[in-house]
Structures are given as structure tokens and as C-alpha cells.
Structure 1
Amino acid sequence: MPTEAEVWQCYTLCCWTTKLYKPVNLVRLDERTGNICFLAAEEIIIEIYPDGDWRYINE
């Protein structure tokens, strides 16, 4: 289960992303780490940590 901080941060990031007219393609909880992985518009990858902090992954 995601933490409350993760849920609110994920909701906020989904709102920001859709305001830019970018589709949210995938939101998944990584059961190994407890982080939420967020994929939007093919090039945006974000990882949300259990404390609500997040980082943009540029691969």
C-alpha cells in the first residue's frame, strides 16, 4: 500500500502533467522499494518515495 504522502504527491503530479496536456500512461507501486513509478508522455519518468519526495529520472 502506498503511504498517504505518496498518494497526495502522485495526485499533484498527475494534475500538473495533465495541465501540460501530457498523458499519464502508467502509475505503478514498486513492491520491492515501496516507491511509486510514474510514466507520462513517453519521456517523463518520475519516482515518488514513501515520504512524498520525488525525482525526475532522465535516462
Structure 2
Amino acid sequence: MEPNNEQAQGLYRLCYRLTNVIYPGWQYRPIQLVRIDERTGNVYVLAGESDFEIKPTGGYEP
């Protein structure tokens, strides 16, 4: 199973924000794991002490 286009774009935006120290309001966090849940189709990202879920619509939430 692969992420759809919206999820791939959401993953790109999230990774950019997590790893870019210059982005205002976000603190640098190393990305440790990216995995797609085959049951739900959501993409999970583990970054530092936070985890994020990217929905099929491309939106993400901690």
C-alpha cells in the first residue's frame, strides 16, 4: 500500500516543518519512523517525543 498524492504532500510539509529550525513556531525534531497503517490507510510519523497521523486528505494532527 502506498500513500496517495495528498498524503505524500502532507508528509513533505510535515517533514519540512519538523526538520527546519528556521520555521517559526516549530521546534526541531528528528524523524525516527514513517509508516503506513494498512488497516486505516493513514501515515504515521514518529518524531522526537511526538507522533503525527496523516489522513488520506493530507491533513495531519499530533
Classify the TM-score, shorter chain: 0.7 to 0.9
Cα distance, 1:31 vs structure 2 = 0.4
Aligned length: 55
Letter in 1 for 2:51: I
Paired residue secondary structure (2:13): helix
Runs of 4+ in 1 over 2 A off after TM superposition: none
2:56 pairs with one of 50, 55, 59 = 50
Gaps of 5+ in 1: none
Partner residue in 2 for 1:34: 41
Q: Which has the higher strand share?
A: 1
Gaps of 5+ in 2: 22-27
What value does the CA root-mean-square deviation take over the aligned residues?
Answer: 0.9
Q: What is the TM-score with the length of structure 1 in the denominator?
A: 0.86
Q: Which has the higher Rg, Structure 1 or Structure 2?
A: 2
Q: What is the TM-score with the length of structure 2 in the denominator?
A: 0.82
